[in-house]
A and B are shown apart, each in its own frame.
Chain A
Amino acid sequence: MPFVLVVAVIAIGTVLAPSARAADPAKVLHIIFPAAETGFDPARVSDTYSATVDEAIFDRLYTYDYLARPAKIVPMTAESMPEISDHGRTYVIHLKHGIYFTPDPAFGGKPRELTAADYVYTFERFADPANHSPWAFLVQDRFVGLDGEVDKAKKTGKFDYDARIPGIEALDRYTLRFELKRPDYLLLYTLAHTSFGAVAREVVEKYGNDIEAHPVGTGPYMLAQWRRAAKIVLVANPHYRHEVWDFRSSGEAWDAAVIAAMKGKTIPQIGKVEISIVEESQSAWLAFERGELDLLAVPATFRAQALDAGNHLLPKWASQGVTLYRMVLPSITYVALDFRDPLLGGFSKEKIALRRAIIMGYDIGDDIRVLRKGQAVQAQMPIPEGVVGFDPAWRNVNQYDPELANELLDYFGYRKGPDGYRRLPDGKPLTLRMATGTTAIDRESDELWKRSMDAIGLRMVFEQGKFSDHLKAARACQLMMWGQAWSADYPDGDDFMQLLYGPNTGQSNNGCYESKSFDSMYEKSRELPPDSPERERLYLDMTRQAEVDGAWSLDVSPISNVVIRPWVLGYKRHPILNAWFVYMDVLPHH
């Protein structure tokens, strides 16, 4: 046999042979998703649970440090942080060598190395109109030449993946270059976004519309079994590259035990992750109590079975070695007030007074106590805890103060009629209309709003409907008031501030708030690096502007309580990453 052939055979064998460091198949983690997944094509899914599985299977260029808070971006398949030039317009990234996709028939039995071209293809898939990707907004109007190809695809019905796009280019096998239309320091967050893991073109083309069921990546896990909406089994990728758990403490006391349990171990440690879809909270909680689950985010209705009034674990659990991890989630709930509504909208003084009175009239304390069972904190600014731009010392000017709200309404001529409800300054009827859902918590929330508004003499009615109908109406600026929630897609204040940016009306700015002052500050902030103090100052000024205009009735950031069995090691909830089991271990147990 010629020498070259021998070397080739050995090389292929080495690549395909399971690594000696492979995770122990006997280590099994049992967890649940509280809602069904939809599929595993990263470009098409947006629900948290499908994305969690994708996160474990597909590798991004960058990811987040497991322990660092606030979240810190670190290389994943990139060799180092990107070389950024031209004031944030050009990014050059070098890939690590020797990263391989898990074997699949699409590769014809040959090892398939990850290359820069795979990321070019991956990014282009998000722009391809045929994929109607929910993440298309992260690539559109961003990369030089991409929008032109999208326009062509809309006309021809086919995206040309072979066309050269100057904004997303593979310079060689291991070098990528992104060229942006304008300075954009937030691109790093897109490069670390959990949906932007590399896919192989051969796999996508082989499986076509069934790609949802064939996730083939280079990540630490592979999909071993999928019974739709019932069970997902992930097994450790035996060919996964050598990665060692080596994260540093963020200073939180919790980190010490995590580091002690995990430092120096190879990633991943858990051989099998069994995920059951359990939609009913009683079933989930009883399964945890029976030891059928290894960890669980305590359902709100079962909080009293896990925690005492001070939010500490009940002695029953502590004595079993169960631990509790509490964290304020990087998300907010708020009620958007429609600025184009003829009754509520606009920037005249009496309209601003009406909106601020509504905000000050809502009993946020009761909201946290009654609706959230104490498992939330008041959101003081649009940027939640754990996200760049959050200021723990910030206090919203519109605090709960029904007396002041009443005075404000009196001062601006909103007089009470014989029925006890206020009328507009011109004497016309005044009725607030709130869009709402049909769940039990929606009804409780409606009751609290009604009680709060009655206390300041404002009549309120509720219009029940489906989420998609409300969204459609809100995008058309036709919902006077609507309670919404937003979770961080990336740990930067921009993700939240864009919800108030005027030109995003009809896309994500569902209150149709269009303030010239806010918009000009937001545009300036987009040109500044994330660690710039000037940008942080701008975020505070933008926050104040939205407060004095009465743009939102800011509500809460929820708290997550996760109970963890003693044999589970290394758990720490990350504000962005959801596939935390990649960084964990389980001990043998009965």
Chain B
Amino acid sequence: MGGYIVRRLWQMIPTMLGVVLLVFVLFNWVGGDPAYVLAGKISSHEQIENIRRQLGIDQPYYVQLGIFLKQIVTANFGSSWSTNEKVSHILLTRLGPSLTVLVPLLILGTLISIGLALAVAYVRGSLTDRMVMIVCTVGLSISILVYIIVFQYVFAYKLGWFPVQGWGDSFWQNLVVYASLPILIALAVSIAPDLRLYRTFVLDEINQDYVRTARAKGVSENRVIWVHVLRNASIPIITYLMSGLPGLLLGSFLIERFFSIPGIGREVILAVERSDFPVIKAITVYVAFATIFTNLLADLTYKAVDPRVQLK
């Protein structure tokens, strides 16, 4: 196991180098020149050159790339070009609000989707199964933007169950008052595709010989579904969940914008709008790290869930 982990960590290096190169090339190719924005409404060529010098973007590309690599190694990405705030501070302060929405979303979404998937798979082919699948297909055909606009209008404005937008200082106030509606929307958006996918995973297992054998040996239906089927179906479910984790953090930017949640997703959009390369670099690198680590974690979890899995 130890050797496997070391090998996987070693393999991260070329992957990370690829990510670094891609981000660097993309930013320099399409990222725009931030000096022109920072220089203000009226600025001379000399002022712009002065800003470029201070930001270090007048250096040859290989020097800039070297600085980027050093920043990754030292985990110090400096300060935001547009706000002067330390990048580490940006990440630390924006991560909390994002996680306040995402952690409950992940737990609730996973439990509800798996529970429903097992239930509809158990009654597969029935009217209930078909109706649930139709609802899921309709649900996942609707854009998240529509969910946000409609839910915000109905539940926050019309019914007044939640505030229209905002974010407070206390964790519990944020979780209970401000994050509830965003979580509800994210659940509505994510349950439909998750349920369909998990149902397929469960159905694959339900038709296996070991399920038939268990039933023939008189094992209770509850035990067959919740222990035998769920355990085997959990491997693809874990893969799917883990691969989606880092993306979730950034993918919630629309919800964060509409509900004024000061999270990471919203920060990414701000950074792109402002050509704020230090922030873009840091978030991209950390998301790449997170992706690699969650993949590794997924592989290790397979082993825990199913002892037959061999890590090579």
Closest to A138 in B: B42
A278 CB-CB contact with B under 8 Å: yes
Q: Please state if B54 and A132 are interface contacts (CB–CB under 8 Å).
A: yes
Closest to A498 in B: B42
Q: How far is the CB of A494 from chain B (nearest CB, A)?
A: 12
Q: How far is the CB of B64 from chain A (nearest CB, A)?
A: 17
Given contacts A228-B262, A230-B167, whether A134 and B43 have CB atoms under 8 Å apart is yes
Closest 10 CB pairs of A and B: A134-B40, A230-B262, A468-B32, A466-B32, A137-B42, A508-B42, A283-B165, A286-B157, A286-B164, A287-B164
Distance A340 CA – B179 CA, assembled complex (angstroms): 54
Q: Please state if B165 and A276 are interface contacts (CB–CB under 8 Å).
A: yes
Distance A129 CA – B83 CA, assembled complex (angstroms): 17
- Residues of A near B259 (CB, < 8 A) are 283
B51 CB-CB contact with A under 8 Å: yes
- Give the bracket for the number of chain A residues in contact with chain B: 35 or more
Distance A280 CA – B156 CA, assembled complex (angstroms): 15
- Residues of B near A475 (CB, < 8 A) are 36, 45
Distance A408 CA – B139 CA, assembled complex (angstroms): 57
A467 CB-CB contact with B under 8 Å: yes
- Residues of A near B266 (CB, < 8 A) are 229
Q: How far is the CB of B43 from chain A (nearest CB, A)?
A: 6
Q: Please state if A508 and B258 are interface contacts (CB–CB under 8 Å).
A: no
Distance A46 CA – B38 CA, assembled complex (angstroms): 9
A133 CB-CB contact with B under 8 Å: yes
Distance A213 CA – B260 CA, assembled complex (angstroms): 21
A136 CB-CB contact with B under 8 Å: yes
Closest to B31 in A: A466
Closest to A506 in B: B45
Distance A519 CA – B93 CA, assembled complex (angstroms): 51
B194 CB-CB contact with A under 8 Å: no
- Residues of B near A231 (CB, < 8 A) are 167
Question: A-contacting residues of B (Cβ < 8 Å)?
Answer: 30-34, 36-45, 47, 50-51, 54, 79, 82-85, 90, 93, 149, 152-153, 156-157, 160, 163-167, 169, 257-262, 266-267, 270, 275
Q: Please state if A134 and B41 are interface contacts (CB–CB under 8 Å).
A: yes
Q: Please state if B166 and A44 are interface contacts (CB–CB under 8 Å).
A: no
Q: How far is the CB of B275 from chain A (nearest CB, A)?
A: 6
Distance A69 CA – B68 CA, assembled complex (angstroms): 52
Q: How far is the CB of B196 from chain A (nearest CB, A)?
A: 30
Q: List 13 A-B contacts (CB under 8 A).
A: A44-B84, A129-B50, A132-B38, A134-B41, A136-B40, A229-B262, A230-B261, A276-B165, A279-B260, A286-B156, A468-B36, A472-B36, A506-B44
- Residues of A near B44 (CB, < 8 A) are 137, 506-507
Given contacts A39-B84, A132-B54, A286-B153, whether A508 and B41 have CB atoms under 8 Å apart is yes
- Residues of B near A469 (CB, < 8 A) are 32-33
Q: How far is the CB of B260 from chain A (nearest CB, A)?
A: 5
- Residues of B near A277 (CB, < 8 A) are 260
- Residues of B near A508 (CB, < 8 A) are 41-42
Q: How far is the CB of B81 from chain A (nearest CB, A)?
A: 10
| Interchain CB contact (< 8 A) of A132 among B30, B51, B165 | B51
Closest to B40 in A: A134
